[in-house]
Structure 1
Amino acid sequence: MVVQRRSDTDGATAPEHFLVVFPGYHRSWAAWIAQALERHGHRTTLQRWDPPREVPLEDSLGDLLLSTGRILLVLNDWFFELGPRPAGEWNDVLRGFVAAHADRFAAVNLTNRSLLPATAVLEPASLWGLSEEAAEERLLARLGVDRRRTPRVLPGGVRFPDTRCEIWSEVPRRNPRFTGRDDLLTDLHQRLADAERGNAVCTLLGMSGIGKTQLAAEYAHRFSTDYDLVWWVNSDDRNIQRDRFGELAVDLGLSIGSEPGERIRAVRDCLRRGEPHTNWLIIFDGWDDTAGMDTLLPQGPGHVLITSRNRGWSEHTDILEIPAFLRPESTGYLMRRAPHITAAEADEVAAEFGDVPLPLVQAASWLGESGMEVPEYLRMVRERRLSTVDEPATGDGFPQSSMTSWSILLNRLRVSQPHAIDVLGLCTSFAPGRIPIGLIRAYPQIDLPEELRWMTTDLPAWTRALDTLVNYSVLTRETRGPVGADMGPHQESVHMHRLVHDIVSKLTGEAGRTAHQRVVRSLLAEADPGNPMDSRNWPRYAELLPHLEPSGALESTQPRVQQMVLNCLRYCFRSGEYKSGLDLAQRIRERWSRTMDPLSQLMLDLTYQESNILRASGRFRDAYDLDHGIHQRLLTAGRSAPLAELSVQGNMANSLRHLGRYAEADEVQRQVLDGYTALLGPDEVPTLVSRHNVAVGLRLLGRYQQAYEFDLETLARRENVLRARHISTLNSGSAVTHDLRLLGRYRDALARQEPLVRLHVQVLGPQHPQTLGARTHLAMCRRREGSHQQDVGPYMASLLEQLQQVHGPDHYRTLAFVTNYGNFLREHGDLDQARELIDKAEAGYRSLLGPAHPVATGMLSNTGLVMQAAGERAEALSMFEAALAGLTATLGGDHPWVLGCALNTASGRNFNGRIPEAVELSRDTLRRARHTLGHDHPLTLSGQVALAADLRAAREDEEAGKLEDDGLLALTRSLGAQHPHTISARQRTRPYWDFEPYLG
């Protein structure tokens, strides 16, 4: 029935009002329909409609007639299940009440499935499968309204529902049986819309099985037209979470490497800027551990949705508590899944399971699939519950009766579909969450027990088993590849809810568990890429990592499985996942130490990796104690293991350097180098690593020229053996630059470091930890060289932010750059921020290293410089004297760090009127600097200019003038007439030395 309407001056029909009535499930279609009508000059009102079952349908439809204008019903088969109500009730009302008011009702149809026969009275226009233009044309034709020649342009246009947003990835498939929760979804949408820019973060909080994930998925689908980017991040496991979030960089077209931290920072920056998408939605599903959220949680113009059981999120985000179903939601869901049950029976089942969604899903699946009558079902549940005295408790508020329901299901499957039980048993030997079940078909060559061999030979049986488990809502299917792409076995995965995993594990017991775990271990070993050094393999290792414990891989005695476990540990170290790595190393050690000789090769490899991770985490003493203990065992074991001893000694030397025991470390490291050279030759990788580390030790000892010579030779050998773009060769290049800068050859250092940083970025990416190290060297080269001062400040500020994101604010590498940036700010007049940064770094080093460590002691000199610049001269001198005394005691009087502290101390004495003491110290400092660093080193020349200033203060003008003139000439010759040091000396500005902390 099409009603003709009066035309307006544009040739279109006169404006009308339409009430668009829709189930919440089709909100996106209703919004698009309203927009289409408004573009052509009409008014609309959206009415979400889910009439309660206890209200007669005729009354609910009659209420709609209270509106003005016509009522447009958005129909599909779901619409007629609202309530739900028997089909007969709908047919009666359509034939009677709706037919009597046919001029007020119209409809569109969104499905190609058949609707109720009496729907014909509405003459619904089918929009199913049409393009946007065709759908709009049919909508307008059904309503008898004309298309405007020039449709209105509306702000914030709504996307056509069948057009997916530009980036849409891994959102779970929409649940066609999703029930209720409309008010929660509306509340959530409003909260995110009303939040301040950058703070639109909401956490869906609730116990396991309450429906948080389903709610988040439905939100993504229902409101997809609001967003240009929707990205789903499984967050049960931290490594998978970081890897998955970082993968967004590829879809955003960001030109970066594959290191997770680098990708995450690039993605967060892109989202913060809102380029290219301002309307984005990121969903972190199952994020229970709030640690590290500052480096992952994005900010910007978009929205963030988190599902979690952790109430700690209330301190950081808006919280939306997810309750159990309302009773009408429970009964509505049950009656849709099991149409044969009555409303009263549905109410009884809902009460039995406390309206908790997850057990209701299983109950509805059981009743719908089996066709069992509710009294019989509830009798079985209640009798089993009453007679089972040792039934395991589930905790977390989960109804005890649901355990019996699951038990009934498993017993039925054992009879009707035993293959499904096999697959289920296999799944419980993985960790909950994402399970790479496709591995079993990807590696058919593994040795399966006879009862499981059907999994690799009988594809139909495999498919039927998975389908059965999906149909019963035990598993949900997932894919790793893009939608529509061919999916290989590696990408076939399922998702098993944590609570389902726990329940099924308890109910299936230990029968067959050993065989299943052995299969999973073998699959994980087969899936090991074998090279954790290659960052392209890191996503695979992130996926394997959570399954090591439940599969029993940590207890395995199979060499291939043990190697896979160690490779996962190496991945943790190489990818910077130090927290996960330390936890894994401790769990491996706990298992292996029960049966393995502590000096076996596997235990030595474990110790080597654990020591590396401890040191990278800043736990230098723990790393040393671990290696020292193993070394003592090796010495007393009475067996010859020279390579093992050298490896452990090399780690000990590394730890000793970080602990500030530089001379002792140098002695041990030279022994290691000699040993490797004798056993392996000069060009093997362990020998080259040892040679590199000798230079690190020489640098810490202040023997810069010797370090430079060692590094030059190591660089040449690595370029010959490993080639120029190898990560170790790049590291040697940065070491040479560091030496040149410490030798005062600033221009040479800068000329080398700029192309080296570009090469680091090309090979490793801009946020790789080694690249960040190379960039810190570049920042210091630019600062020391002197001609880039206007660019250095912003560069250092940006780099500091990135270091904090990668390493955290308290990591020793971050503290080093906090110090360097603080010194720069002090030098350029920002005393308040400089003081804040230097104080923070000094406290951080003191906590990390102890007050007697040379680096912690040297930091006192930087604090003194800030005080002196602020006019606190007496306090500054106290700091300078303490630093000088402490470093002299630990490093000796000729170390460059000591000479720098002496330069500052002489300055402090001068400013405090202690001129003779200043002259005496300046003379001694200049003599020592010439001996240690040479006559033309910048620190030596600064000492010469400082002595001239002290002599002038002591009225020894003739000697002061000669020293000053000679110093100016030397500075001009070595650094240039416009270098800041030369200009300061010319202006008779007192020279100073800022301490640059370095741990090796």
Structure 2
Amino acid sequence: MKDFFISYTRADKAWAEWIAWQLEKADYSLIIQAWDFHAGSNFVLEMQRAATEARRTVAVLSPHFLNAIYTQPEWAAAFADDPTGTDRKLLPVCIEKCELKGMLKAIVYIDLVGKNNSDACDFLLHEIDKALTDARGKPATEPAFPATISASRPEPRFPGSLPPVWKVPFLRNPNFTGREQILADLHTTLAAGKNAAVTQPQAIHGLGGIGKTQIALEYAHRHKNEYACICWLNAEEPQVLAGEIAELAHWFDLPEKDTREQDAKIDAVLRWFGSAQSWLLIFDNVEKADAVRPFVPQGGAGHVILTSRSPNWRGLAQPLSVEVLDRDESVAFLRQRSGCDDEKGAHEVAEALGDLPLALEQAAAYMEASALDFSAYLKLFTGQRKRLLKKGQPPDYPETVATAWEMAFLQLKNENKAAIELLNLCAFLAPQDIPLELFTAAGDKLPASLQKKVADPLAWQETLALLRRYALIDLQDNHLNCHRLVQAVTRDRLPEKKYATIAEKAVELVNAVFPSDTDPLDYRSWPDCERLLPHGLSVTDHAARHGLQLTETATLQNQMALFLQSQARYAAAELLYRRALKIDEKVRGFEHEAVAIRLNNLANLLQDKGDLIAAEPLYRRALAIDENALGQDHPDVAIDLNNLAGLLRAKGDLTAAEPLYRRALEIGEKTLGPDHPKIALRLNNLAGLLRAKGELTAAEPLYRRALEIGEKTLGPDHPKVALRLNNLAGLLQDKGDLNAAEPLYRRALEIDEKALGQDHPDVAIDLNNLAGLLQDKGDLTTVEPLYRRALEIVNEKLGADHPSTQTVQRNLQSLLGKIKGGK
């Protein structure tokens, strides 16, 4: 005979295994389904064998256990054998707060709720001993690890404790109900490939509001004991997804974590997944398979889950379709969430709402906030539904959803108009991680009613709490989340004129906090840019979809593009630059100075990409606009002259470039003063041209003055200082002073690696320069790895046809030829 049979429901498997482990560790024998039932056996007969062969039944009590069907006969059989509890046949162990009813209510249970691992273990064994012998007390020390336990099975983590890496932005939903079958199917399918190199990802798909995200979230919480790493990624916007993948380098403490080059971080993270074990990666709200395909790990012993409204996942994932809740699940949820125990009323409300989880949640929240029972809510719902249906069917979601939210909107309008205004603004932002500072720092950009609430900390908190009470937002730390379906309903109910007004306000909000007065190469602003990027993309996209041509949109797109360009994300940056240019040309006119700024930035990007032919006419057009609008000696004209001269120099036309550089320097010194950072840029550029012409003696003092200004105004570790160091070192190398040049090259490399990352194109330039100097010194053994690392960077970042790539390639081939010739 075994000592115990562990009775539990699937949702509490982690707890059951932990309890079983502690009991076996204390030298008890037991039967537990997870360890002792095998494929091919008859489940009912196995349960019968377990119940008859075990002296006692340990019931793992939780709301899931009490609502499950198959656990009832298990504890009932033990209760029938010992109705008075004299022989302790039934030993309930409570692992989650729940309300006991009927016969179970009379049995004293072992309460583990709220205890940590060590305390729960001690208390469990102490209470078990008391129940069985009434003599055995708590042991003085923890029992030694039993030699009979197989070392092949690791001790389960304490249920409720998180994996070492837990990047999940949502708390567990205490009202999650049902979905047992799809959770079981999901676990079975994922576990089927556990020993394979790659486990096929699972795509959960269904219409908006069906509960896809909640299913993935519940799965993560239920099975967290099975993983050492669980990471949740917002996959709705590709640019945001790339940033979230890169951020994992910090979570995994990878060597590349401080790299500023995003692609290098992503590569490192994917390599980590490819070699690691026991991880779960969740891509939430994927629009298309191609958007996540580059980020699905190849290799490794982990699992991938995707949630999406699309059913088209063959080839990348095994799709699992999510339907509406079963009626019994809907009824159970409504009764639990609302606190109303009227089963018939809950059934009627569930039927009216079509068993859609998000609509059920909103209805229950409304009932709780308004102190309504099911019949009263249903009466209001029916009346409101008839009025809404007269306006036509909503485009992207069931009309039951629109009806449920319309009721909440009307109630909010009566209670707190500012709450409606806040929700309207949130509807145009990205759904997750909306910073509260967007509103608290907005000042007079907010609608008057909301501005007044934000200015009063207590009223502001009450406004947020009201929206949360009606299940319209979720608050976490210093940000809020708003379900994308709530956002869609909110936008769709806005009249066209109001829509345009709110869309414009939303752009202004993000514009006000997105870094704009700092150098895009200043990496200190990059975290803020990355955090605000999804909201900037969202508000500008909504404005574009509605045909709004806003100068604020162009400004925000320009700033986002500057950030993306600094990260070498050229394709995304170019798209935003072109959109900003198109808006300003239409709204401000083709000859406006703002258009010149857009042209300069786009041309600079094209030059970075090596497309000099496309960049030149943009630079020339920007110069003509500023000369006509601002005058011949304006500082902006100096910028245009400098940019155009740089392009001409890159094309090899030094004669045409020199007078432009000299004119730009003259204007700058006259208008900005001799020690302004922009003067350093002009000096550096003119010195570079003189060096290219062979006028080294004239160039050196210009380089040294530029370096001195840069160190003084930007600090000694700024990337622009690295540029000045590189240039001065190059001149010294040309003069033959190799010993003086080498420490400057090395310092430049150190600055750029720290500030920009190991795989930034500027680092490749540093490597190429240092390699060339070492080659001139005859140190051929250390040169080849530098050239190869530089070539790898520029090949990946700039492409094989970029001039920088071709330069490094030629340098490497020349070196290899010399090495071969030397041998």
| Shift, 1:149, TM fit | 4.1
**For 1:611, which of 603, 606, 620 is the aligned residue?**
603
Correspondence for 1:533: 521
**For 1:500, which of 448, 471, 486 is the aligned residue?**
486
Q: Does 1:624 align with 2:619?
A: no
Correspondence for 1:898: none
**Are 1:691 and 1:710, in contact at CA under 8 Å, matched by a contact in 2?**
no
With over 3 angstroms needed to count, the CA separation of the structure-2 counterparts of 1:65 and 1:214, relative to structure 1, is same
Counterpart of 1:534, as a letter, is D
TM-score by length of 1: 0.67
Correspondence for 1:600: 592
Deviations 1:525-569 (A, max 9, x none): 54344324321212222333444463899979899x986664444
Counterpart of 1:366, as a letter, is Y
| Shift, 1:126, TM fit | 0.6
Q: Does 1:573 align with 2:558?
A: no
**For 1:651, which of 643, 647, 659 is the aligned residue?**
643
Give matches, 1:941-952, under 5 Å. Answer: none
Deviations 1:687-735 (A, max 9, x none): 5435545676789xxx5845x6676445312221112533223123334
State how far apart, in whole Å, the 2-side matches of 1:815 and 1:745 are: 27
State how far apart, in whole Å, the 2-side matches of 1:295 and 1:257 are: 20
State how far apart, in whole Å, the 2-side matches of 1:227 and 1:786 are: 53
Counterpart of 2:524, as a letter, is R
**Are 2:254 and 2:268, in contact at CA under 8 Å, matched by a contact in 1?**
no
Q: Percent identity between the aligned chains?
A: 22
| Shift, 1:108, TM fit | 0.8
**For 2:114, which of 101, 111, 129 is the aligned residue?**
129
TM-score by length of 2: 0.80
With over 3 angstroms needed to count, the CA separation of the structure-2 counterparts of 1:771 and 1:151, relative to structure 1, is same
Q: What secondary structure sits across from 1:468 in the alignment?
A: helix
State how far apart, in whole Å, the 2-side matches of 1:804 and 1:17 are: 64
| Shift, 1:119, TM fit | 2.8
State how far apart, in whole Å, the 1-side matches of 2:690 and 2:21 are: 73
Correspondence for 2:752: 760
Q: Does 1:812 align with 2:798?
A: no
State how far apart, in whole Å, the 1-side matches of 2:340 and 2:740 are: 85
Q: Does 1:980 align with 2:819?
A: yes
| Shift, 1:401, TM fit | 2.7
Counterpart of 2:221, as a letter, is H
Q: Does 1:550 align with 2:539?
A: yes
**Are 2:250 and 2:257, in contact at CA under 8 Å, matched by a contact in 1?**
no
Correspondence for 1:18: 5
Q: What secondary structure sits across from 1:99 in the alignment?
A: coil
**Are 2:270 and 2:295, in contact at CA under 8 Å, matched by a contact in 1?**
no
Larger radius of gyration: 1
Q: What secondary structure sits across from 2:423 in the alignment?
A: helix
Q: What secondary structure sits across from 2:721 in the alignment?
A: helix
State how far apart, in whole Å, the 2-side matches of 1:568 and 1:297 are: 26
Correspondence for 1:432: 431
State how far apart, in whole Å, the 1-side matches of 2:365 and 2:49 are: 35
With over 3 angstroms needed to count, the CA separation of the structure-2 counterparts of 1:496 and 1:97, relative to structure 1, is farther
Q: Does 1:729 align with 2:721?
A: yes
Q: How many residues align?
A: 782
With over 3 angstroms needed to count, the CA separation of the structure-2 counterparts of 1:131 and 1:595, relative to structure 1, is closer
Correspondence for 2:468: 470
Q: Does 1:454 align with 2:452?
A: yes
| Shift, 1:282, TM fit | 3.9
Counterpart of 1:629, as a letter, is R
| Shift, 1:176, TM fit | 0.5
State how far apart, in whole Å, the 1-side matches of 2:184 and 2:604 are: 50
Q: Does 1:219 align with 2:219?
A: yes
Q: What secondary structure sits across from 2:83 in the alignment?
A: helix
* Deviates further, 175-184 or 107-116: 107-116
| Shift, 1:342, TM fit | 5.4
Correspondence for 2:32: 45
With over 3 angstroms needed to count, the CA separation of the structure-2 counterparts of 1:645 and 1:367, relative to structure 1, is same
State how far apart, in whole Å, the 1-side matches of 2:386 and 2:128 are: 60
State how far apart, in whole Å, the 1-side matches of 2:688 and 2:221 are: 56
State how far apart, in whole Å, the 2-side matches of 1:34 and 1:150 are: 14
**Are 1:441 and 1:455, in contact at CA under 8 Å, matched by a contact in 2?**
no
State how far apart, in whole Å, the 1-side matches of 2:50 and 2:529 are: 57
Deviations 1:268-311 (A, max 9, x none): 53673479975444433334366675775555454444433456
Counterpart of 1:537, as a letter, is S
Q: What secondary structure sits across from 2:539 in the alignment?
A: coil
Counterpart of 1:167, as a letter, is V
**For 2:62, which of 60, 63, 76 is the aligned residue?**
76
With over 3 angstroms needed to count, the CA separation of the structure-2 counterparts of 1:94 and 1:269, relative to structure 1, is same
Deviations 1:898-935 (A, max 9, x none): xxxxxxxxxxxxxxxxxxxxxxxxxxxxxxxxxxxxxx
| Shift, 1:460, TM fit | 3.6
**For 1:180, which of 178, 182, 186 is the aligned residue?**
178
State how far apart, in whole Å, the 1-side matches of 2:484 and 2:230 are: 24
Q: What secondary structure sits across from 1:106 in the alignment?
A: strand
**Are 2:5 and 2:31, in contact at CA under 8 Å, matched by a contact in 1?**
yes
State how far apart, in whole Å, the 1-side matches of 2:778 and 2:332 are: 75
State how far apart, in whole Å, the 1-side matches of 2:46 and 2:30 are: 23
- Structure 2: 5+ residue stretches without partners: 36-44, 137-141
Correspondence for 1:168: 166
With over 3 angstroms needed to count, the CA separation of the structure-2 counterparts of 1:294 and 1:118, relative to structure 1, is closer
State how far apart, in whole Å, the 2-side matches of 1:680 and 1:267 are: 41
| Shift, 1:326, TM fit | 4.1
Root-mean-square deviation (CA, aligned residues, Å) is 4.7
* Deviates further, 132-141 or 739-748: 739-748
With over 3 angstroms needed to count, the CA separation of the structure-2 counterparts of 1:294 and 1:80, relative to structure 1, is closer
**For 2:765, which of 754, 773, 794 is the aligned residue?**
773
| Shift, 1:390, TM fit | 5.7
Correspondence for 1:408: 407
Q: Does 1:715 align with 2:703?
A: yes
With over 3 angstroms needed to count, the CA separation of the structure-2 counterparts of 1:44 and 1:734, relative to structure 1, is farther
State how far apart, in whole Å, the 1-side matches of 2:467 and 2:480 are: 10
| Shift, 1:204, TM fit | 3.5
Deviations 1:414-451 (A, max 9, x none): 234544323322323434333223433356x5465542
With over 3 angstroms needed to count, the CA separation of the structure-2 counterparts of 1:633 and 1:602, relative to structure 1, is closer
| Shift, 1:117, TM fit | 6.6
Correspondence for 2:157: 159
